[in-house]
Amino acid sequence: MSADAKTRTIHAIFLDVDGTYADFGIVPEAHVVAVQAARANGHKVLLCTGRPVSMLPAHILDAGFDGLIASAGAYVEVAGEVLVDKRFPADLAKRTVAILDANDSVYVLEAQESLHVAPAAEQRLRTIVEGHFQKSAPGQPRGSSAILDSLLPWSQDSPLFAKVTVFESRIPMDQMVAEIGAEIAVVANSIANEGSHAGELYQCGISKADGVAAAIARLGIEQKDTIAFGDGQNDLEMIAYAGMGVAIEGSSAELLAIADRTAAPPSREGIAAAFADLGLI
């Protein structure tokens, strides 16, 4: 091993998926190459996404990663070892589903093993999801299959879920949260972007930053040597926590204000350019 290799700082790099690493669910080849090159240089690269494991198809994972944080911090896995797996308690899950159904909501219950939809809302969900992914550039592959091909009908025997994505509801999300109870919070979603009547419901006290902290403790990497990339509201805590926070151009003003620098979106292969600028590859 060279002297340079011995003294090089090893970073833990955390990549949000939608709007950061992938564009409409499709990963640019330059991003795959950048991840592989960074790992070849000794850095640890992990996905840090709001998606559950069941919504991460092979084409997103193909680059190879040292671990992943899923469900916005509710699930953490490093080198095949599951460190965190938090689900809605059974009573909270039952109450959440009942209130969603009472308000004619279109939603996906997100477990690490599978995705679930109320049978009565499945067709409406498919229409909404396909409509979102049709916004990708003409001729561009679409990643809607990661959601639509994985759906199973919800029943009381389904696995407990970690998060709920609400695509449409009769009432605003803040009212939904108030009806469910103080254990629940809401954040905007990169797919369900229909204003106040859509979003992600998650348990209070869970964030991507918590997932990053659990992962680096297992990896033996200090907080100051972490780099996080993100573009959504569920990336706020992660970007603030990381030694270097990188916001994708076009992110909210709130996210841009706390980031240390910006990177171009995946449509312009921003991760690859940022990795090169930061000397990671």
| pLDDT value, residue 140 | 53
Instruction: Collect contacts of 95-98 with beta carbons under 8 A, ≥24 apart.
Output: 95/180, 95/181, 96/164, 96/180, 96/184, 96/201, 97/154
| pLDDT value, residue 132 | 65
Sign of CA dihedral 78, 184, 229, 167: positive
Q: How does residue 8 score in pLDDT terms, banded at 50, 70 and 90? A: confident
Given a cut of 70, whether residue 112 has pLDDT beyond it is yes
Q: How does residue 192 score in pLDDT terms, banded at 50, 70 and 90? A: low
Q: What confidence tens digit (pLDDT) does each residue in 154-176 have?
A: 888 889 999 999 988 999 999 99
Domain 3-85+206-277 belongs to what topology?
A: Rossmann fold (3.40.50)
Matching fold, domains 3-85+206-277 and 90-203: no
Q: Pick the residue with more confidence: 121 or 58?
A: 58
Determine the average pLDDT of the residues in 42-67.
Answer: 95
The residue extents of the domains of the chain are 3-85+206-277, 90-203
Given a cut of 50, whether residue 58 has pLDDT beyond it is yes
Share of the chain above pLDDT 90, in %: 75
Least confident of 2-16, 34-48, 91-105: 2-16
Given a cut of 80, whether residue 35 has pLDDT beyond it is yes
Q: How does residue 1 score in pLDDT terms, banded at 50, 70 and 90? A: very low
| pLDDT value, residue 3 | 40
Given a cut of 80, whether residue 150 has pLDDT beyond it is no
Determine the average pLDDT of the residues in 101-127.
Answer: 90
Instruction: Collect contacts of 146-152 with beta carbons under 8 A, ≥24 apart.
Output: 146/25, 146/51, 146/55, 146/56, 146/57, 146/60, 147/55, 147/108, 147/115, 147/191, 150/54, 150/55, 150/114, 150/115, 151/108, 151/115, 151/116, 151/117, 151/122, 151/125, 152/114, 152/115, 152/116, 152/117
| pLDDT value, residue 6 | 47
| pLDDT value, residue 124 | 84
Given a cut of 80, whether residue 52 has pLDDT beyond it is yes
Domain 90-203 belongs to what topology?
A: 3.30.1240
